[in-house]
Amino acid sequence: MNKRPITRKVKNWTKEQIQEALDESPVNQAAIARELNISATTVSDTVRGRTNSQRVHKAIAEAVKHDVKEIWPEIYLYGEPRRGRRMVVWHRKAAA
């Protein structure tokens, strides 16, 4: 009998879930930006999933009192992410 391992697809929290958790906490995105001395756009882009920032991820996780692996399992489940922006795949038809 062939037994395939059971694999479970993990999903990151959506931007709405992160924002809802931040709304329930005393800290907002602007406060996180001031604390880390970065722009509010950077925090917003990280929440939306446009960029990956370990500093912002950790600050958000502290604010909502959850682990970064719980909020972003696709990124942190198997180690630390690489620095920089998320790679975007462009299709020739879309670029034309």
Q: Where are the domains of the chain?
A: 15-95
Q: Which CATH number fits domain 15-95: 1.10.3470, 1.10.357, 1.10.260, 1.10.287?
A: 1.10.260
Secondary-structure percent of the chain, ordered helix, strand, coil, rounded to 5: 50, 0, 45
> In this structure, what is the dihedral angle of CA atoms 88, 14, 40, 94, given to the nearest 10 degrees?
30
pTM for this entry: 0.73
- pLDDT digit of tens for each residue in the chain (96 aa)? 566 665 567 788 999 999 999 999 999 999 999 999 999 999 999 999 888 888 999 999 999 999 998 998 888 877 766 555 454 444 445 544
Q: Under a CB-based contact definition with an 8 Å cutoff, are residues 57 and 71 in contact?
A: yes
Q: What is the CA radius of gyration of the chain?
A: 16
Question: How far lies 65's CA from each of 3, 10, 42, 75, in Å?
Answer: 39, 20, 21, 18
